[in-house]
Amino acid sequence: MSEDLDILLCAPRGFCAGVDRAVEIVEKSLQKFGAPVYVRHEIVHNKHVVQNLENKGVIFVDELDEIEDKTRPVIFSAHGVSKKVYEDAEIKNIQFIDATCPLVSKVHREAELLNKQGYQIILIGHKNHPEVIGTMGQLPAGEVTLIENIEDIKNIKLNKEKIAYITQTTLSVDDTKDIIDALKIEFPNIKEPIKSDICYATTNRQAAVKNIAAKCDVFFVVGSQQSSNSKRLVEVAKKNGSKESYLVHQEFKLPIDLIKKSKCIGVSSGASAPEVLVDRLIDQIKEIRNIKVQDVEIIKENVEFKLPRELREN
Ligand code: SF4
Protein backbone atom coordinates (compact mmCIF):
# COMPACT_ATOMS: atom_id res chain seq x y z
CA MET A 1 0.00 0.00 0.00
CA SER A 2 1.36 3.43 -0.96
CA GLU A 3 1.77 6.18 1.67
CA ASP A 4 -1.28 8.20 2.76
CA LEU A 5 -2.45 11.04 0.54
CA ASP A 6 -2.73 14.40 2.32
CA ILE A 7 -5.92 16.32 1.63
CA LEU A 8 -5.82 19.98 2.61
CA LEU A 9 -9.34 21.33 2.99
CA CYS A 10 -9.59 25.09 2.58
CA ALA A 11 -11.57 27.05 5.12
CA PRO A 12 -13.59 29.11 4.61
CA ARG A 13 -15.19 27.32 1.66
CA GLY A 14 -18.67 26.65 0.37
CA PHE A 15 -21.93 28.43 1.15
CA CYS A 16 -21.69 32.16 1.90
CA ALA A 17 -24.21 34.21 3.85
CA GLY A 18 -25.91 35.42 0.64
CA VAL A 19 -26.46 31.87 -0.63
CA ASP A 20 -27.61 30.64 2.79
CA ARG A 21 -30.15 33.45 2.88
CA ALA A 22 -31.37 32.84 -0.69
CA VAL A 23 -31.95 29.12 -0.08
CA GLU A 24 -33.69 29.87 3.23
CA ILE A 25 -35.92 32.39 1.47
CA VAL A 26 -37.06 29.69 -0.96
CA GLU A 27 -37.60 27.12 1.83
CA LYS A 28 -39.53 29.61 3.99
CA SER A 29 -41.62 30.70 0.99
CA LEU A 30 -42.59 27.07 0.35
CA GLN A 31 -43.64 26.77 4.01
CA LYS A 32 -45.57 30.02 4.00
CA PHE A 33 -47.25 29.89 0.58
CA GLY A 34 -47.18 26.15 -0.20
CA ALA A 35 -46.02 24.66 -3.52
CA PRO A 36 -45.50 25.67 -6.19
CA VAL A 37 -43.44 28.80 -5.83
CA TYR A 38 -41.58 30.14 -8.81
CA VAL A 39 -37.93 31.21 -8.82
CA ARG A 40 -36.64 33.46 -11.57
CA HIS A 41 -33.23 32.14 -12.66
CA GLU A 42 -31.28 29.47 -10.71
CA ILE A 43 -31.54 30.70 -7.11
CA VAL A 44 -27.81 30.07 -6.81
CA HIS A 45 -25.55 28.52 -9.43
CA ASN A 46 -25.62 24.93 -8.24
CA LYS A 47 -27.56 22.07 -9.86
CA HIS A 48 -27.69 20.02 -6.64
CA VAL A 49 -29.37 22.90 -4.78
CA VAL A 50 -31.71 23.60 -7.71
CA GLN A 51 -32.77 19.93 -8.06
CA ASN A 52 -33.43 19.63 -4.31
CA LEU A 53 -35.70 22.64 -4.44
CA GLU A 54 -37.47 21.37 -7.58
CA ASN A 55 -38.25 18.17 -5.71
CA LYS A 56 -39.93 20.26 -3.01
CA GLY A 57 -42.17 22.09 -5.50
CA VAL A 58 -40.14 24.99 -6.86
CA ILE A 59 -40.53 25.85 -10.55
CA PHE A 60 -37.53 27.63 -12.06
CA VAL A 61 -38.13 30.06 -14.93
CA ASP A 62 -35.83 32.34 -16.89
CA GLU A 63 -38.37 35.11 -17.37
CA LEU A 64 -41.62 36.22 -15.71
CA ASP A 65 -43.54 35.49 -18.95
CA GLU A 66 -42.93 31.77 -18.36
CA ILE A 67 -44.92 31.81 -15.10
CA GLU A 68 -48.11 29.89 -15.87
CA ASP A 69 -49.98 30.55 -12.60
CA LYS A 70 -49.53 34.24 -11.88
CA THR A 71 -51.32 33.93 -8.54
CA ARG A 72 -48.21 32.18 -7.16
CA PRO A 73 -45.25 34.12 -5.75
CA VAL A 74 -41.92 34.40 -7.54
CA ILE A 75 -38.51 34.72 -5.90
CA PHE A 76 -35.70 36.71 -7.49
CA SER A 77 -32.28 35.04 -7.26
CA ALA A 78 -29.25 36.01 -5.13
CA HIS A 79 -27.56 37.55 -8.20
CA GLY A 80 -30.02 40.45 -8.28
CA VAL A 81 -32.27 41.70 -11.07
CA SER A 82 -32.60 44.85 -13.12
CA LYS A 83 -35.22 47.48 -12.22
CA LYS A 84 -37.32 46.40 -15.18
CA VAL A 85 -37.92 42.98 -13.63
CA TYR A 86 -39.46 44.57 -10.49
CA GLU A 87 -41.58 46.83 -12.66
CA ASP A 88 -42.74 43.92 -14.85
CA ALA A 89 -43.75 41.92 -11.77
CA GLU A 90 -45.83 44.87 -10.59
CA ILE A 91 -47.46 45.39 -13.99
CA LYS A 92 -48.28 41.66 -14.19
CA ASN A 93 -49.52 41.73 -10.59
CA ILE A 94 -47.18 38.93 -9.52
CA GLN A 95 -46.12 38.84 -5.86
CA PHE A 96 -42.33 38.75 -5.64
CA ILE A 97 -39.84 38.08 -2.87
CA ASP A 98 -36.36 39.43 -3.40
CA ALA A 99 -33.44 37.11 -2.55
CA THR A 100 -30.82 39.48 -3.99
CA CYS A 101 -27.73 39.24 -1.76
CA PRO A 102 -27.46 42.42 0.34
CA LEU A 103 -23.87 42.80 -0.92
CA VAL A 104 -25.12 42.90 -4.51
CA SER A 105 -27.83 45.38 -3.47
CA LYS A 106 -25.05 47.52 -1.99
CA VAL A 107 -23.43 47.75 -5.45
CA HIS A 108 -26.84 48.61 -6.98
CA ARG A 109 -27.29 51.51 -4.55
CA GLU A 110 -23.71 52.69 -5.24
CA ALA A 111 -24.46 52.78 -8.98
CA GLU A 112 -27.64 54.79 -8.41
CA LEU A 113 -25.91 57.27 -6.13
CA LEU A 114 -22.96 57.79 -8.47
CA ASN A 115 -25.37 58.34 -11.34
CA LYS A 116 -27.28 60.96 -9.33
CA GLN A 117 -23.98 62.67 -8.53
CA GLY A 118 -23.19 62.91 -12.24
CA TYR A 119 -20.50 60.23 -12.55
CA GLN A 120 -19.87 58.12 -15.60
CA ILE A 121 -19.81 54.59 -14.22
CA ILE A 122 -17.39 51.86 -15.31
CA LEU A 123 -18.45 48.38 -14.19
CA ILE A 124 -15.72 45.72 -14.05
CA GLY A 125 -17.39 42.35 -14.57
CA HIS A 126 -18.23 39.44 -16.85
CA LYS A 127 -20.55 40.15 -19.76
CA ASN A 128 -23.89 38.29 -19.59
CA HIS A 129 -23.42 37.16 -15.98
CA PRO A 130 -26.83 37.61 -14.27
CA GLU A 131 -25.31 39.85 -11.58
CA VAL A 132 -23.83 42.14 -14.23
CA ILE A 133 -27.14 42.28 -16.12
CA GLY A 134 -28.90 43.19 -12.85
CA THR A 135 -26.36 45.86 -11.91
CA MET A 136 -26.38 47.47 -15.36
CA GLY A 137 -30.17 47.34 -15.25
CA GLN A 138 -30.33 49.65 -12.20
CA LEU A 139 -29.81 52.58 -14.57
CA PRO A 140 -31.02 53.50 -18.05
CA ALA A 141 -29.18 51.85 -20.96
CA GLY A 142 -25.87 53.54 -21.75
CA GLU A 143 -25.28 54.87 -18.22
CA VAL A 144 -22.97 52.00 -17.19
CA THR A 145 -19.95 50.97 -19.30
CA LEU A 146 -18.89 47.34 -18.81
CA ILE A 147 -15.23 46.38 -19.03
CA GLU A 148 -13.96 42.82 -18.65
CA ASN A 149 -10.21 43.31 -18.89
CA ILE A 150 -7.38 45.84 -19.24
CA GLU A 151 -7.68 45.88 -23.07
CA ASP A 152 -11.26 47.17 -22.78
CA ILE A 153 -10.02 50.36 -21.07
CA LYS A 154 -8.82 51.86 -24.34
CA ASN A 155 -12.35 51.58 -25.79
CA ILE A 156 -14.02 53.56 -22.99
CA LYS A 157 -15.67 56.64 -24.46
CA LEU A 158 -15.88 59.42 -21.89
CA ASN A 159 -19.07 61.42 -22.00
CA LYS A 160 -18.98 62.91 -18.50
CA GLU A 161 -16.23 64.73 -16.62
CA LYS A 162 -16.52 62.69 -13.44
CA ILE A 163 -15.77 58.99 -13.64
CA ALA A 164 -16.15 56.17 -11.09
CA TYR A 165 -15.86 52.40 -11.08
CA ILE A 166 -17.78 49.61 -9.41
CA THR A 167 -17.26 45.84 -9.74
CA GLN A 168 -19.06 42.52 -9.81
CA THR A 169 -18.90 40.90 -6.35
CA THR A 170 -17.34 37.57 -7.38
CA LEU A 171 -14.28 38.57 -9.40
CA SER A 172 -10.68 37.49 -8.98
CA VAL A 173 -9.19 39.82 -6.35
CA ASP A 174 -5.76 39.85 -8.06
CA ASP A 175 -6.95 40.26 -11.66
CA THR A 176 -9.34 43.03 -10.62
CA LYS A 177 -6.53 44.85 -8.83
CA ASP A 178 -4.56 44.87 -12.10
CA ILE A 179 -7.56 46.29 -13.98
CA ILE A 180 -8.12 48.93 -11.27
CA ASP A 181 -4.44 49.93 -11.35
CA ALA A 182 -4.66 50.36 -15.14
CA LEU A 183 -7.89 52.38 -14.78
CA LYS A 184 -6.15 54.67 -12.28
CA ILE A 185 -3.30 55.30 -14.72
CA GLU A 186 -5.77 56.15 -17.51
CA PHE A 187 -8.12 58.17 -15.26
CA PRO A 188 -6.12 59.47 -12.25
CA ASN A 189 -9.21 61.07 -10.65
CA ILE A 190 -11.43 58.01 -10.91
CA LYS A 191 -13.65 57.54 -7.84
CA GLU A 192 -13.40 54.20 -6.02
CA PRO A 193 -15.96 52.39 -3.86
CA ILE A 194 -15.34 53.15 -0.15
CA LYS A 195 -15.10 49.40 0.48
CA SER A 196 -14.26 46.87 -2.25
CA ASP A 197 -17.32 45.56 -4.12
CA ILE A 198 -15.72 42.11 -4.26
CA CYS A 199 -17.51 40.47 -1.36
CA TYR A 200 -16.01 39.05 1.83
CA ALA A 201 -16.87 35.45 0.81
CA THR A 202 -15.13 35.72 -2.56
CA THR A 203 -12.10 37.38 -0.96
CA ASN A 204 -11.79 34.83 1.86
CA ARG A 205 -12.25 31.78 -0.37
CA GLN A 206 -9.59 33.02 -2.78
CA ALA A 207 -7.17 33.81 0.08
CA ALA A 208 -7.69 30.31 1.54
CA VAL A 209 -6.87 28.70 -1.83
CA LYS A 210 -3.84 30.95 -2.32
CA ASN A 211 -2.58 29.95 1.11
CA ILE A 212 -2.16 26.26 0.23
CA ALA A 213 -2.05 26.05 -3.60
CA ALA A 214 1.75 25.83 -3.83
CA LYS A 215 1.79 22.73 -1.58
CA CYS A 216 -0.72 20.82 -3.69
CA ASP A 217 -0.03 18.50 -6.64
CA VAL A 218 -3.70 18.67 -7.60
CA PHE A 219 -6.45 21.08 -6.62
CA PHE A 220 -10.20 20.42 -6.76
CA VAL A 221 -12.81 23.16 -6.48
CA VAL A 222 -16.35 21.86 -6.06
CA GLY A 223 -18.77 24.11 -7.91
CA SER A 224 -20.93 24.51 -10.97
CA GLN A 225 -19.77 25.57 -14.43
CA GLN A 226 -22.01 28.66 -14.19
CA SER A 227 -20.56 29.73 -10.85
CA SER A 228 -18.28 32.74 -11.32
CA ASN A 229 -16.69 32.52 -7.87
CA SER A 230 -15.97 28.77 -8.25
CA LYS A 231 -14.23 29.29 -11.61
CA ARG A 232 -12.16 32.09 -10.09
CA LEU A 233 -10.98 29.69 -7.34
CA VAL A 234 -9.67 27.26 -9.98
CA GLU A 235 -7.76 30.14 -11.62
CA VAL A 236 -6.36 31.27 -8.25
CA ALA A 237 -5.12 27.73 -7.50
CA LYS A 238 -3.46 27.48 -10.94
CA LYS A 239 -1.82 30.89 -10.68
CA ASN A 240 -0.47 30.17 -7.23
CA GLY A 241 1.34 26.97 -7.93
CA SER A 242 -1.15 24.18 -8.42
CA LYS A 243 -1.12 23.66 -12.19
CA GLU A 244 -3.45 20.65 -12.09
CA SER A 245 -6.53 22.47 -10.82
CA TYR A 246 -10.04 21.40 -11.71
CA LEU A 247 -13.64 22.45 -11.26
CA VAL A 248 -15.57 19.48 -9.89
CA HIS A 249 -19.05 19.89 -11.42
CA GLN A 250 -21.81 17.35 -12.08
CA GLU A 251 -20.28 15.83 -15.21
CA PHE A 252 -16.65 15.98 -14.04
CA LYS A 253 -14.69 12.69 -14.10
CA LEU A 254 -11.99 12.43 -11.44
CA PRO A 255 -8.44 12.14 -12.87
CA ILE A 256 -7.69 8.80 -11.21
CA ASP A 257 -4.08 8.53 -12.46
CA LEU A 258 -3.23 11.96 -11.07
CA ILE A 259 -4.78 11.08 -7.72
CA LYS A 260 -2.79 7.84 -7.61
CA LYS A 261 0.54 9.63 -7.99
CA SER A 262 -0.15 12.73 -5.84
CA LYS A 263 1.25 13.42 -2.37
CA CYS A 264 -1.08 16.29 -1.52
CA ILE A 265 -4.45 17.43 -2.89
CA GLY A 266 -6.13 20.74 -2.10
CA VAL A 267 -9.91 20.99 -1.91
CA SER A 268 -12.21 23.98 -1.79
CA SER A 269 -15.73 24.81 -2.93
CA GLY A 270 -17.47 27.83 -4.38
CA ALA A 271 -19.93 29.96 -2.44
CA SER A 272 -22.91 28.16 -4.00
CA ALA A 273 -21.70 24.57 -3.45
CA PRO A 274 -23.18 22.62 -0.50
CA GLU A 275 -20.80 20.76 1.83
CA VAL A 276 -22.39 17.41 0.97
CA LEU A 277 -20.71 17.66 -2.46
CA VAL A 278 -17.31 18.18 -0.81
CA ASP A 279 -17.96 15.10 1.37
CA ARG A 280 -18.87 13.13 -1.76
CA LEU A 281 -15.60 14.14 -3.46
CA ILE A 282 -13.55 13.11 -0.40
CA ASP A 283 -15.36 9.75 -0.34
CA GLN A 284 -14.53 9.19 -4.01
CA ILE A 285 -10.84 9.98 -3.39
CA LYS A 286 -10.93 7.60 -0.41
CA GLU A 287 -11.94 4.79 -2.75
CA ILE A 288 -8.67 5.32 -4.63
CA ARG A 289 -6.19 6.10 -1.81
CA ASN A 290 -5.80 6.09 1.96
CA ILE A 291 -6.17 9.72 2.97
CA LYS A 292 -5.32 12.08 5.82
CA VAL A 293 -7.62 15.12 5.83
CA GLN A 294 -6.58 18.42 7.39
CA ASP A 295 -8.65 21.62 7.62
CA VAL A 296 -6.59 24.72 6.85
CA GLU A 297 -8.55 27.69 8.15
CA ILE A 298 -7.32 31.24 7.51
CA ILE A 299 -10.24 33.22 8.95
CA LYS A 300 -13.53 32.59 10.77
CA GLU A 301 -16.61 33.98 9.07
CA ASN A 302 -19.57 35.18 11.09
CA VAL A 303 -21.60 37.06 8.50
CA GLU A 304 -25.39 36.58 8.53
CA PHE A 305 -28.06 38.43 6.60
CA LYS A 306 -31.64 38.98 7.74
CA LEU A 307 -34.51 37.46 5.81
CA PRO A 308 -36.86 39.84 3.95
CA ARG A 309 -39.54 41.27 6.28
CA GLU A 310 -42.39 39.19 4.80
CA LEU A 311 -40.62 35.94 5.79
CA ARG A 312 -39.35 36.86 9.26
CA GLU A 313 -41.02 35.02 12.10
CA ASN A 314 -41.34 38.06 14.37
FE1 SF4 B 1 -23.38 37.61 -1.62
FE2 SF4 B 1 -20.77 37.27 -2.03
FE3 SF4 B 1 -22.31 35.19 -1.59
FE4 SF4 B 1 -22.51 36.52 -3.91
S5 SF4 B 1 -20.75 35.33 -3.17
S6 SF4 B 1 -24.19 35.77 -2.63
S7 SF4 B 1 -22.15 38.61 -3.16
S8 SF4 B 1 -21.90 36.87 -0.12
CB neighbourhood size of 143 (10 A): 17
Nearest-CA residue for atom 2 of ligand 1: 199
Residues 266, 8 contacting (CB under 8 angstroms): yes
Which residues does residue 75 pair with via DSSP β-bridges, in sequence order?
39, 97
| CA–centroid distance, residue 100 to ligand 1 (Å) | 9
Tell me whether the omega of the peptide bond preceding residue 130 falls within 30 degrees of 0, making it cis. no
pLDDT digits (tens, 9 = 90+) for 192-243: 999 999 999 999 999 999 999 999 999 999 999 989 899 999 999 999 999 9
Cβ < 6 A, ligand 1 pocket: 16-19, 78, 101, 103-104, 169-170, 199, 201-202, 229, 271
Q: What is the DSSP letter of 108?
A: H
- pTM (predicted TM-score): 0.95
Residues 299, 207 contacting (CB under 8 angstroms): yes
| CA–centroid distance, residue 16 to ligand 1 (Å) | 6
Active site residue 235: no
Is it the case that residue 19 has pLDDT exceeding 90? yes
pLDDT digits (tens, 9 = 90+) for 62-75: 999 999 999 999 99
Atom of ligand 1 nearest to the CA of 169: 7
pLDDT digits (tens, 9 = 90+) for 76-133: 999 999 999 999 999 999 999 999 999 999 999 999 999 999 999 999 999 999 999 9
Name the active-site residue from 110, 112, 131, 304: 131
To test ligand 1's pocket by mutation, which of 20, 45, 126, 169 has the most ligand atoms within 8 angstroms of CB? 169
Q: Kindly list the strands in the beta sheet with 264-269, ordered across the sheet, starting from the edge strand earlier in the chain.
A: 244-248, 218-222, 264-269, 5-11, 291-297
Please state the rounded mean pLDDT for residues 272-282.
Answer: 95
Nearest-CA residue for atom 6 of ligand 1: 18
Atom of ligand 1 nearest to the CA of 21: 6
pLDDT digits (tens, 9 = 90+) for 35-45: 999 999 998 88
| CA–centroid distance, residue 291 to ligand 1 (Å) | 32
CA distances for 276 relative to 35, 219, 267, angstroms: 25, 18, 13
Is it the case that residue 1 has pLDDT exceeding 60? no
| CA–centroid distance, residue 130 to ligand 1 (Å) | 13
Nearest residue to 270 via CA among 39, 24, 26, 49: 49
Domains in the chain with CATH codes: 5-15+200-297 (3.40.1010.20), 17-100 (3.40.50.11270), 103-197 (3.40.1010.20)
SS3 157: coil
Atom of ligand 1 nearest to the CA of 199: 2
Nearest-CA residue for atom 3 of ligand 1: 18
Helix 17-33 / helix 102-116 crossing angle, nearest 10 deg: 110
